[in-house]
Amino acid sequence: MTETTPKAKTMSEEMVAKALTEQFKDKITDLQTKPRRVVFNVDRSVFLDLIKKMKDEMEFEHCSSVSGVDMKTNFQVVYHMSSYANKIVAQITVDVPKDVPEIDSITPLYGGANWHERETYDMFGIKFIGHPRLERLLLPVDYTFFPLRKDFDVGRRI
């Protein structure tokens, strides 16, 4: 007879939402649950702790994408985190101020986020603190501008 480890209980969208709001209370806003989706904004100050909880306790095992958005008054970084065990994708949006465009890197937790974060840095100039190799990915290293910022002059040359 073989001994098996008990399988973790599958979580629904509502269970994920409840567990996150219980721990992060007023740091999560605009929370919505949809079939196979959990969508919310989270304060930058608790972002890394929230991601660790999702990875360690909720079986979110894959970072599908990291994207930057220029909202004119601030940046946003949008993450899509997947839990294959729970069949849920979480869309997490973090506001990042333009005067300090920095957020914690999740690359140490999810190696696949490495190039996503580098591309976001390259296009928007958002720095990912703790990234193992944050440098230009698509553009030449001597470029001093970030082409997906709304204030970028399209006719500009280096």
Instruction: Give the span between the Cα atoms of 31 and 139, in whole angstroms.
Output: 36
Q: Tell me the CATH architecture of domain 13-96.
A: 2-Layer Sandwich (3.30)
For the chain, which residues make up each domain, given as ranges?
A: 13-96
Using the structure block, give the residue that is written with the tokens 């399988």.
Answer: 7
| pLDDT value of position 154 | 75
Amino acid at 141: V
Going from the first residue of the chain to its last (158 residues), give the mean pLDDT of each consecutive group of 10, the final group possibly shorter: 57 97 97 98 98 97 98 97 97 98 98 98 98 96 92 72
Residue 9 DSSP class = P
Instruction: Give the span between the Cα atoms of 113 and 1, in whole angstroms.
Output: 41
| pLDDT value of position 5 | 47
Instruction: Give the span between the Cα atoms of 77 and 92, in whole angstroms.
Output: 8
